[in-house]
Structure 1
Amino acid sequence: MRPRPVAVALALALAVSAPALAACGNGSDSPGAATTAASADPGEPQVGGSVTFGVAVETTGLDPTISSAVGASGATELASLYDVVLRYNPESKKYENGTAQDLTSNDDYTEWTLKLRPGIKFSDGTPYDADAVRLSIERHRAPQSRSLARDYVQTIDTMTVVDPLTLKFSLVEAWSSFPYLLTTQAGFITSPTAVAKLGEKLNTEPVGAGAGPFILESYTPKNSIVLKRNPDYWDGQVYLDSLKFVNFQGGTLTYEAFRSGQIQAGFLREATASFDAGEAKEPGYVATLGSGDILAINSAEGRPGHDRRVRQALAAAIDPKVLSDRVYDGKAIPNSSPFPAEFPWGPDVPGTTFDLAKARSLVEEAKADGWDGRLDLVASSAPLATKWAVTVQALLKQAGIEVDVREVDQSALTTAIFVKHDFDVAQSAFGIPSSDGAYIQLQENIGHADNRFGFHDEAFSAALAEVRTADTDAKRTAAYKKVALAWNESVPAVATASINSRIVWVPNLHGVKPTSQVALLFGKAWLSR
């Protein structure tokens, strides 16, 4: 076996320049991933103080196999409770050890060996060992699992406990970016003792279940999650007394709460709020994600989107710039490519093109074969989302498509898309980052055989398979070019904008570390006074 240390060799395909640590400008010119902070030296960390964080979307719980566990919803909360096996550093483009001491692969990336740091315990006293990691990941792999990680943990064939601190992963297929998995839901390791003891209560009362820097004080769904310092944290002093998560129903209200001092940090996903915070040069972190706004298409058999011509017509009928101007006052980043402009393996393939004549022609062809020309569009009832849906409705009407808009709350929208698959088209997002997470997002949403959108295309699947095994920048760029070309031809969704997912925090908050999925690590965060 040829060792590939996490912090060095695993970054061989991530060799892109790190973004500058400088004050960011407006929403349209921010780097792909950057931390922005006051330039003055804050001095030594100080103990004490509390941070209230405004999340973008309330999490569905605190069990990693149930929680949505992405940066906008759940991942920061869960990382605070459970810690991470690995951290992805978006500035250096490298993996850093969390509870891991080392991670190495064999030559063809089909086997990975994880060594854990010694002496770690969950807050219930259970050893944080190789078997605990194995059992935790098995929960995501279980047939009845509701985990968003379930699809990509299926790449693991077997997990073998070599010794108390060593776990070997044998994969079904080669995966050069396997470390990314351990930065996500699958890397939030749960105490097997707590899992057995708590049962379903793990999702709402995970007392003793984690090894993170904070432990649960209270969880009131639809209200707040309050965490307090873990006095026995394996990585030493936790500086904050407490960490509280609240939801203000949208980026505009979250930013208003931040500006008024109600919260000390907040997630701003909506284009206008993110843009305004960038203009104000607020300290924080910003990551530009491709496919930040999409018209999701249900391509399952029996749906209009099963016909490739209908999908192509949708792409040709929608002008991303019109959406930006009408919905976001020109503050969005119009982009019909699935990838952000800053994508490190940029395929240099333009996205789909607005072409109303082509859209009308394709619609007429599909109608001639029996389609009634109608679509059901499911969208959030939030004001900006309503504006987006009405604009899409008008654009598609120009192409001869009649759209019935069905407005629902955010929870019902999630259920309609991801659980019941009850839609023809829907307002959604893939959030494709400039990291190994791009493969995860594409595979999870539209790549695997049983994907949530019912999409299947041989050329697209073959291109994604090349991404999975690519181990150099050149190979990844070539593979992503094939992905982009297949996307334009098969149209699994209509990308309309990249988006700056921005997290703002007060100038006297220091030591916050971003990781994958636009999540934050607060284990060494502190407030200067």
Structure 2
Amino acid sequence: MLKKKYLSAFLTAFIALILVLAGCSGKSSTDADKKTKTESNPKEQPLAKKEGNSLTIAVSANLISMDPQDTNDTLSGSIQSTMLEGLVGFDKDMKMIPVLAESYEASDDAKVFTFKLRQGVKFHDGTPFNAEAVKVNIDRVANPENKLKRYSMFELVEKTEAVDEYTFRVTLKEPFGAMLNNFAHPAARLMSPAAIEKYGKDVATHPVGTGPFKFAEWDQSDHLSVEKNPDYWQKGLPKVDGIKFKPVPENGARVAMLQTGEADYIYPIPTEQAESINGKDGIVVENKQSIVARYMTMNTTKKPYNDVKVRQAINYAINKEAFLKVVYSGYGSKLDSIIPEKLQFYSKQTPYPYDPEKAKKLLKEAGYENGFETTIWGANSSTTMKAMEFIQQQLSQVGIKVSVVPMESGTLSDKIWNVQNPKDAEVELYYGGWSSSTGDADWGIRPLLAGQSAPPKSYNTAYYENKKVDELIKSALQTADSGKRKEAYAEIQKLVWEDAPWAYLVVDDTISGKKNYVDGIYLLPDGAMNANNAEIKK
């Protein structure tokens, strides 16, 4: 392994080589290429050995919270899904399916939504699942005084009703045709009302749901474990006795755990090692196109990012083709709008080509001919650090000196999401990602780019505000007419693309690795992991 002091020099040389290759090829790996890479595992490979009936899953970052209504990261939501369930959810292709609701319907004006609930279900602590339990949960997340991170998804709720024991109804303040998608989002998973009352805010470390697994323990320095729920309402599940989720930010360590059998499943697989480990040591690598957008936000309230020419210059200064090859080994595609192609109402934009000379010209026009110094924040995972170092190298070519500041998840969360006043925000550049876990353009745009979505209310880390964009977002929410919504979202995407509050980068593939005796675990297009059907083949 290279020592840290040599890493930047190595990366710079490697990027230079990739830039040459990218310039020659003009395109990334094709879907066929990637399919070959991940399906080359020999069919005759014997099952690896496995003792016991429990699994260990190694993941790339620390877990933040087990409260679904106060969680803003997909990874924590993935672990929650083993214990907590919602009224509706998504299948592996993100098509909506009933879960704790047997059926549901919306009024013609898209203001009233009624759910018929599954009977005979209990929370892990014995509390009955019924309409009153649903009401407690939705009232909690829809109450702005609770200051929960997912409030913005339910702020339109005007009234909730337990019509009878197994009928729940919610009425909105105004029409919102995508509300059912919000109920399918992980934020709408339900916790025991008794647990909410008993633990208060500490319910984040004492999750009690209705899922196939029950919370066992959480050593925040090492792992979180769940155990089999013997009374689960779906017959035949779960198929394993327990699962241990172990955060392992360093890519090499995570792969080594899979190779030695210390981990049975890891997510994500570092793309640079995917092909080399597939089909060896009983390992199977799987990848699919995702709806996970990767970008770098620029704090538009701070100089020099309050100047659109600077923001556009940064987009011209980054070679997205090379970024995809260096950071993701070609497993993905370039982001060509503010939302990924697979989201409803996506509208393709004209890309910012790699043009360092144009970037320098724009910087000169903005008064920064000699560049400037800045910092970029991001998580401390291997892939994120590689991405930030790539950006650092690229921007240095146009005179922008970037200091890379990786942070542990909890620290990053505190410094970004807990800022109460935009004037106090220290963030300048932030490398992050987003998956619209409702499958709808609204959740891919509004939380990240609406003027009212700055932290701590939501996730607009660019502190971007455009009154026309805000008006269009509002109009798109006030109709269930798909044609009108499509028109509004197309204009939004055009306006924001030109305003460039982000450096638009890539849409990465979901990519995971498992031992070949593992079955039933899969990744959704939004990057969430579902392990509820996990089993060990013998």
Q: TM-score, normalised on structure 2? A: 0.80
Aligned to 2:22: none
How many residues were matched structurally? 487
Identify which range, 174-183 or 348-357, moves more after superposition: 348-357
Identify which range, 113-122 or 302-311, moves more after superposition: 302-311
1:440 matched to 2:449: no
Aligned to 2:410: 411
Aligned to 2:254: 254
Any idea what SS the aligned residue of 2:367 has?
A: helix
Instruction: Tell me, yes or no, if the aligned pair for 2:371 and 2:398 is still in contact at 8 Å.
Output: no
Instruction: Tell me, yes or no, if the aligned pair for 1:53 and 1:263 is still in contact at 8 Å.
Output: yes
Aligned to 1:401: 400
Q: Deviations over 1:246-290 (max 9, x none)?
A: 111144432332233222222116543566677989365634234
Q: Deviations over 1:140-187 (max 9, x none)?
A: 233354533121111222222222222222223322222222233332
| Pairwise CA distance, 1:226 | 1.2
Aligned to 1:458: 467
Aligned to 1:266: 266
The root-mean-square deviation of aligned C-alpha atoms, in Å, is 3.5
Q: What letter matches 1:295 in structure 2?
A: M
Aligned to 1:163: 164
| Pairwise CA distance, 1:383 | 4.7
Aligned to 1:185: 186
| Pairwise CA distance, 1:64 | 2.2
| Residues in 1 aligned to 2:262 and 2:328: alpha-carbon distance in whole angstroms | 25
Any idea what SS the aligned residue of 2:144 has?
A: coil
| Residues in 2 aligned to 1:118 and 1:30: alpha-carbon distance in whole angstroms | 45
Any idea what SS the aligned residue of 2:446 has?
A: helix
Q: What letter matches 1:233 in structure 2?
A: Y
Q: Deviations over 1:491-516 (max 9, x none)?
A: 12112111112233333333346557
Instruction: Tell me, yes or no, if the aligned pair for 2:114 and 2:167 is still in contact at 8 Å.
Output: yes
Aligned to 2:48: none
Question: What are the residue-to-residue correspondences of 1:213-228 with 2, within 5 Å?
Answer: 213-228=212-227
Q: What letter matches 2:496 in structure 1?
A: W
Aligned to 1:17: none
Aligned to 2:17: none
| Pairwise CA distance, 1:432 | 4.9
Q: What letter matches 2:389 in structure 1?
A: V
| Pairwise CA distance, 1:63 | 2.3
Q: Deviations over 1:336-378 (max 9, x none)?
A: 533435556442323333333432233223327x998432322
| Cα distance change, pair 61–284 in 1 and its aligned pair in 2 (3 A) | same
Q: What letter matches 1:213 in structure 2?
A: P
Aligned to 1:509: 518
Q: Deviations over 1:46-104 (max 9, x none)?
A: xx81121122322113222344452xx2122211112232121243x521111111111
Q: TM-score, normalised on structure 1? A: 0.81
| Cα distance change, pair 351–130 in 1 and its aligned pair in 2 (3 A) | farther
| Pairwise CA distance, 1:456 | 0.9
| Residues in 1 aligned to 2:148 and 2:440: alpha-carbon distance in whole angstroms | 17
Aligned to 1:97: 98
Any idea what SS the aligned residue of 1:460 has?
A: helix
Instruction: Tell me, yes or no, if the aligned pair for 1:272 and 1:332 is still in contact at 8 Å.
Output: no
Q: What letter matches 1:174 in structure 2?
A: P
| Pairwise CA distance, 1:486 | 1.7
Instruction: Tell me, yes or no, if the aligned pair for 2:66 and 2:77 is still in contact at 8 Å.
Output: no
Instruction: Tell me, yes or no, if the aligned pair for 2:58 and 2:267 is still in contact at 8 Å.
Output: yes
Aligned to 2:348: 348
Any idea what SS the aligned residue of 2:68 has?
A: coil
| Pairwise CA distance, 1:245 | 0.7
Q: What letter matches 1:417 in structure 2?
A: I
| Residues in 2 aligned to 1:124 and 1:409: alpha-carbon distance in whole angstroms | 33
| Pairwise CA distance, 1:234 | 1.9
| Residues in 2 aligned to 1:503 and 1:191: alpha-carbon distance in whole angstroms | 32
| Residues in 2 aligned to 1:331 and 1:100: alpha-carbon distance in whole angstroms | 37
Identify which range, 266-275 or 152-161, moves more after superposition: 266-275
Question: What are the residue-to-residue correspondences of 1:20-59 with 2, within 5 Å?
Answer: 49-59=53-63
Q: What letter matches 1:499 in structure 2?
A: D
| Pairwise CA distance, 1:471 | 5.2
Instruction: Tell me, yes or no, if the aligned pair for 2:349 and 2:497 is still in contact at 8 Å.
Output: no
Instruction: Tell me, yes or no, if the aligned pair for 2:60 and 2:251 is still in contact at 8 Å.
Output: yes
Aligned to 1:172: 173
Aligned-residue sequence identity (percent) comes to: 19
Aligned to 2:242: 242
Q: Deviations over 1:178-232 (max 9, x none)?
A: 22222333322111111112234422233xx211111122211121111111111
Q: What letter matches 2:431 in structure 1?
A: Q
| Residues in 1 aligned to 2:158 and 2:417: alpha-carbon distance in whole angstroms | 26
Q: What letter matches 2:101 in structure 1?
A: A
Any idea what SS the aligned residue of 1:80 has?
A: coil
Aligned to 1:86: 88
- Give structure 1 stretches of 5+ with no counterpart: 1-24, 41-47
Q: Deviations over 1:294-348 (max 9, x none)?
A: 111112x344323323222222222212323444555553435334355564423
Q: Deviations over 1:7-28 (max 9, x none)?
A: xxxxxxxxxxxxxxxxxx9878
Question: What are the residue-to-residue correspondences of 1:63-82 with 2, within 5 Å?
Answer: 63-70=67-74, 73-82=75-84
| Residues in 2 aligned to 1:137 and 1:38: alpha-carbon distance in whole angstroms | 48
Q: What letter matches 1:423 in structure 2?
A: V
Instruction: Tell me, yes or no, if the aligned pair for 2:311 and 2:501 is still in contact at 8 Å.
Output: yes
Q: Deviations over 1:413-443 (max 9, x none)?
A: 333332343211122112357x625431322
Instruction: Tell me, yes or no, if the aligned pair for 1:64 and 1:186 is still in contact at 8 Å.
Output: yes
